[in-house]
Structure 1
Amino acid sequence: MPSLEASYSQPEKAVTNPWRVFAIACIAIFMVSLDNTILYAGFSNILRSFPGATAAGLSWAMNAYSIVYAAMLIPAGGVADKFGRKKIFILGVLLFISASFACGASPSVGWLIVARVVQSIGACLLSPAALAIVLQAFPRDKRMIVMGAWGAVGALAAALGPGIGSLIIELGGWQWAFFINIPIGLLCIWQSVTILQESTQPRDKLRLDWVGILQLMTGVGAITFGIVELNSTHWPAVELAGIVLAGLVLLLSYIPWAKSNPEPLFELSLFKNNTFLFANVAGFMFAIAFAIMFFSFFFWMKTIWHFSQCMAGTAIMPGPLTVVPTAILSGKIASKIGHRPLLITGSITYALSGLWFMWVPDASPDYLTEWLPGLLLSGLSVGLVIPSLSAASVFGLPAKDYAVGSAINHAVRQVGTVIGVALTVLLLAKPHLQIADFHQMYAIHIALALMTGLLCLPINTHPRQLLVKSNSTV
């Protein structure tokens, strides 16, 4: 009986060195990750460049991107499977860099938000296609190691993004935080055309579930709007509570819709796999905590310690740089013992990093002794958790569901990022920040980290599970 992997259409020529394929896919993922971290760093600069704009309004340049990304990423995986992963990957990169130019040239916050939506669609097309291309290139027994390296690439972009972005913003303005994507994307397209091989997953037909997409986008958007505007004088609390409740109802309405629709946005049956279910719920919680930690860092550095843009961007780099070797090492360890021990350890240490930030730093800047230890601890934690959750989410899924399963995992984490950004803007985007305001943020951070650890207990990706599955298909 042929394996599920054999059902993929294979190119006629010899298979390309998988690490070359990995490198090309990583260029694109690096570009997308770099763009997100640069925007965190440049938030206040962009806000100052648009007179009359509010922090809540500008936050939609981040949240609209994440909401559309979350909703469109799942069908994008199916599009890549059907029409060709290489083809859709290149199309996504081209759309992303075109929208990046539009972002940098935006004359207002409104135009910036629109351009970010288009940029998000490009990211949706390239991301699941990139991971599917990489997974297709490597044998199953190497995928845990590859996923660790894959997570390290995003971490490296997160590490370099604030420093590079802050320097670019100081030298050329925030617009160049977007323009920098253009040469990176063109390099990626050039390499993709000459090196990548096409692969598809045969489908009889593909119909986009526009109702499901709208349910997700509208539901998450309503919840986010309610959180962001809680401090607004224009919206009564009762109305905002109603908007949040309506958003929750819209999200929950997807369950009966998916059961009655022959081709829903994603199959609920995927969540019958306990590892897939808990990896995604844990990923949602951790994404909120990560967005809170990352975004609030810049508020602290620029408001409490009064660091310059460049100093603030450089100061955060050691944390994400710690993620890189940790993610690579965690992939190797997971290939021997599974992901659960790494996930629980990482969640606990992430809670400890929040505790450090809550109680150690004060108003007097002392980066080396008061901030750096907590930053390194958080980097170690993220390196253990995020790559492990990404790998665990697709562990045990059949080959035909790699792209969709990965897309769901990324979408769930994007929704978590939206909530994290909304909470940070709500609690910290104010004229006179006090250290006590940050204590609230870190209390949420700690609680979410501990919840992540508890949710990881049912995750089972021990290598012996592969042996059991292999034996059951013989």
Structure 2
Amino acid sequence: MSASSSDATETQLSKGGPTLAIASLAAMATYLDSSVLFVAFPDITQSFTAATTSTLSWVLNAYTITFAALLIPAGKLADRVGPKQALLVGALIFTAASMVCGLSPSIEILIFARIIQGLGAAVLVPSSLALVLSAYPREKLPQVVAIWGAMGAFSAALGPSVGGVIVNGLGWRWIFFMNLPIGAVTLILGPRYLKESKNPEVRIPNLIGVALVAVAAGVMSFAIVNSDTAGWASATTLTMALIGVAILVLFVAHQKRTQAPTLDLDLFALTNFRWGIIAMFIYAISFGAMFFGSLLFMVEVWQWSILKAGFAIAPGPALVAILAAVFGKLALRVGQRPLILTGGVLLTVSAIYWLIALSFEPNYWVGFVPPFTIVAISIALIFPQVTSIAAQALPADRSGVGSAAIQSVRQFGQTFGVALTLAFVGNTSYARRELYGHFDQIWWTLAILGLLTTLCGVPMAVTKKD
């Protein structure tokens, strides 16, 4: 490498630091919001006693469905108007909606504000990753995307412990108010430090395609999140799932014909992008099931408080944040593929450990500390590196929509994992001992999903620094 090119790289790295920090912080708030309300839900229920349980459930589901449904159209829009502008608009929407959530006088206003929050998050997240991709030289992307990806996993898993402290100390409304300083920092520093990289040649997507993918994503998300109350085999769940699949088929057919696609289907011809998307979906299912299943096990079988269970889970996300940067540097030397292969195997190992060693009587140091350590290594290997290897395969002018597709399948997978957990152990009529046995279904599922994730890594091309 010449001295001039080396100097240029160093200059780009120095300018990339603020971008990574601002983009990661902004995205962190959206992922934290997706899990923090698990512990706030009982308090919200007490504040709106006149609301039915099904209505209250939409405080959780409205955000998830809107977020998943609008990610891909929002990512395409970010490619057109520029990720900097998209991130600032998304942060403004998300922050304003958070304020309304915290001040909501009625359940209806709270649910509406959660929908607007989901819209803001859908605009913010893909533009966040697109900014990171454009801020660094290509050879540094495995490391920086690993850090960005780890922040998402870290914040989502940290939600219950953070939420427990805030709810117990200040009340559920402060769950939303804590987003305000993050939004303020983003909106103040973003215009100064973020660099725009829009491509005016990217066409505004056809509105029919936007509507089809949003409705398909929304309907399938509804089928998943509603399955814990209606049942997996209910007419409602199966009908909504079939409608969602049918609309998705129409969307694919439309994308093949239109001159202004919402999602460029030729991206799936890219080996690393295609297998990265599949691996992300599979592993996200396991993440949702493992995270929510562990929380439920401690609360329902061991009879721990949600706050205590949240703190018991918290060391895992902290370890993920530390290891992600380490593995990001390792990926520069050996490539992401070996790390992904190892991460899937480690998930299977942790699941087998739970099947063998997790006891009915509380024993945190034996039942959870060893597998949580293994899982933390697995998460630090998989989420950041799968995101990185898929994102690196994207053309620069389609990083927004490609990033949105990666995060969309992650959101779907985690939602599906939570719903799967509720299907296995959500029956409140189980006695504690009987419920303990049903958790084996979760651990077996994790073991299988770990192996499937590893298999997805086999066809991936090795990417490493020469």
TM-score (normalised: structure 1) = 0.87
1:154 matched to 2:155? The reply is no
Is the Cα–Cα contact under 8 Å of residues 47 and 54 in structure 1 kept in the other structure? no
Deviation at 1:316, TM superposition (A): 0.5
Is the Cα–Cα contact under 8 Å of residues 225 and 416 in structure 2 kept in the other structure? no
Deviation at 1:193, TM superposition (A): 2.7
CA distance change for structure 1 residues 448 and 346 in 2, over 3 Å: closer, same or farther? same
1:201 maps to what in 2? Answer: 199
Deviation at 1:400, TM superposition (A): 1.3
2:19 maps to what in 1? Answer: 21
Map residues 91-130 of structure 1 onto 2, 5 A cutoff. 91-107=89-105, 109-130=107-128
3-state SS, counterpart of residue 241 of structure 1: helix
Mapped partners of 1:348, 1:234: distance in 2? 32
Mapped partners of 1:233, 1:141: distance in 2? 48
Deviating more after overlay: 396-405 vs 276-285? 396-405
1:30 matched to 2:28? The reply is yes
Out of 384, 391, 402, the position equivalent to 2:381 is 384
Mapped partners of 1:463, 1:251: distance in 2? 35
3-state SS, counterpart of residue 301 of structure 1: helix
Mapped partners of 2:438, 2:188: distance in 1? 48
Deviation at 1:341, TM superposition (A): 1.0
Deviation at 1:462, TM superposition (A): 2.2
1:445 matched to 2:446? The reply is yes
Mapped partners of 1:91, 1:120: distance in 2? 13
Mapped partners of 2:61, 2:313: distance in 1? 22
Out of 280, 283, 287, the position equivalent to 1:283 is 280
Out of 135, 139, 154, the position equivalent to 1:141 is 139
Number of aligned residues: 452
1:373 matched to 2:374? The reply is no
CA distance change for structure 1 residues 435 and 210 in 2, over 3 Å: closer, same or farther? farther
1:190 maps to what in 2? Answer: 188
Mapped partners of 2:442, 2:389: distance in 1? 28
1:398 matched to 2:399? The reply is no
3-state SS, counterpart of residue 368 of structure 2: helix
Mapped partners of 1:414, 1:77: distance in 2? 14
Deviation at 1:71, TM superposition (A): 2.9
Q: Which string of whole-angstrom CA distances, capped at 9 and with x for unpartnered residues, describes residues 381-430 of structure 1?
A: 11100001100111232211222211111111112122222223333333
1:297 matched to 2:298? The reply is no
Mapped partners of 1:230, 1:124: distance in 2? 23
Mapped partners of 1:453, 1:175: distance in 2? 41
Map residues 55-454 of structure 1 onto 2, 5 A cutoff. 58-107=56-105, 109-158=107-156, 160-203=158-201, 205-207=203-205, 209-230=206-227, 232=229, 237-238=234-235, 240-433=237-430, 434-454=435-455
Deviation at 1:35, TM superposition (A): 1.9
CA distance change for structure 1 residues 202 and 337 in 2, over 3 Å: closer, same or farther? same
Deviation at 1:350, TM superposition (A): 0.8
Is the Cα–Cα contact under 8 Å of residues 354 and 442 in structure 1 kept in the other structure? yes
Deviating more after overlay: 353-362 vs 414-423? 353-362
Mapped partners of 1:34, 1:239: distance in 2? 30
Q: Give the counterpart letter for 2:165 in structure 1.
A: L
CA distance change for structure 1 residues 51 and 461 in 2, over 3 Å: closer, same or farther? farther
Mapped partners of 1:126, 1:26: distance in 2? 11
Q: Which string of whole-angstrom CA distances, capped at 9 and with x for unpartnered residues, describes residues 118-151 of structure 1?
A: 1111112222222222222211111111112212
Mapped partners of 1:148, 1:236: distance in 2? 38
Q: Give the counterpart letter for 1:77 in structure 2.
A: G
3-state SS, counterpart of residue 463 of structure 1: coil
Deviation at 1:227, TM superposition (A): 4.6
2:464 maps to what in 1? Answer: 463
Mapped partners of 1:454, 1:100: distance in 2? 40
Is the Cα–Cα contact under 8 Å of residues 63 and 421 in structure 1 kept in the other structure? no
Q: Give the counterpart letter for 1:375 in structure 2.
A: F
2:6 maps to what in 1? Answer: none
Mapped partners of 1:444, 1:65: distance in 2? 26
Mapped partners of 1:141, 1:213: distance in 2? 34
Mapped partners of 1:292, 1:134: distance in 2? 29
RMSD: 2.7
CA distance change for structure 1 residues 21 and 247 in 2, over 3 Å: closer, same or farther? closer
CA distance change for structure 1 residues 249 and 141 in 2, over 3 Å: closer, same or farther? same
Deviation at 1:259, TM superposition (A): 0.8
Mapped partners of 2:76, 2:230: distance in 1? 43
Is the Cα–Cα contact under 8 Å of residues 228 and 426 in structure 1 kept in the other structure? no
Mapped partners of 1:33, 1:226: distance in 2? 21
3-state SS, counterpart of residue 121 of structure 2: helix
Deviating more after overlay: 324-333 vs 428-437? 428-437
CA distance change for structure 1 residues 121 and 459 in 2, over 3 Å: closer, same or farther? same
Q: Which string of whole-angstrom CA distances, capped at 9 and with x for unpartnered residues, describes residues 200-231 of structure 1?
A: 22226413x44334433433444444455556
**Among the aligned pairs, what percent are the same residue?**
35
Is the Cα–Cα contact under 8 Å of residues 142 and 331 in structure 2 kept in the other structure? yes
Q: Which string of whole-angstrom CA distances, capped at 9 and with x for unpartnered residues, describes residues 28-47 of structure 1?
A: 12222222231234344444
Deviation at 1:199, TM superposition (A): 2.8
Stretches of structure 1 that go unaligned for 5 or more consecutive residues are: 1-12, 468-474
Is the Cα–Cα contact under 8 Å of residues 293 and 445 in structure 1 kept in the other structure? yes
Is the Cα–Cα contact under 8 Å of residues 28 and 126 in structure 1 kept in the other structure? yes
Stretches of structure 2 that go unaligned for 5 or more consecutive residues are: 1-10
Q: Which string of whole-angstrom CA distances, capped at 9 and with x for unpartnered residues, describes residues 275-297 of structure 1?
A: 11110011111111111111222
Q: Give the counterpart letter for 1:215 in structure 2.
A: L
